[in-house]
């Protein structure tokens, strides 16, 4: 059994490296997502407001009858 300790330590080392790389990938993806969300929010703020409607239609009772 003592001969296997090298493999056990190597397995833990590989696992630690893989988890560290995965953690770095997740933080990078989180930063990219936050930057995209910020860009979308900034672009929404700079968009022109939708056009306002023109003159309101008069109510039918307020118009004079047609000749």
Which tens digit of pLDDT belongs to each residue from 6-56? 999 999 999 999 999 999 999 999 999 999 999 988 887 776 776 677 777
CA 9 to chain CA centroid, nearest Å: 40
- Burial code of 17-55, b = ≥16 C-beta within 10 A, e = fewer? eeeeeeeeeeeeeeeeeeeeeeeeeeeeeeeeeeeeeee
Q: Which structure tokens are listed for 26? A: 């997740």
Residue 62 pLDDT: 64
Residue 31 pLDDT: 97
Residue 42 pLDDT: 85
Residue 12 pLDDT: 97
Question: Would you say residue 63 has pLDDT above 70?
Answer: no
């Amino acid at each position: 059994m003592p001969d296997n300790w090298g493999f056990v330590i190597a397995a833990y080392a590989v696992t630690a490296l893989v988890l560290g790389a995965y953690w770095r990938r997740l933080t990078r993806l989180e930063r990219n997502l936050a930057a995209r969300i910020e860009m979308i929010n900034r672009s929404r703020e700079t968009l022109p407001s939708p056009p306002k409607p023109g003159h309101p239609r008069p109510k039918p009772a307020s118009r004079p009858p047609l000749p």
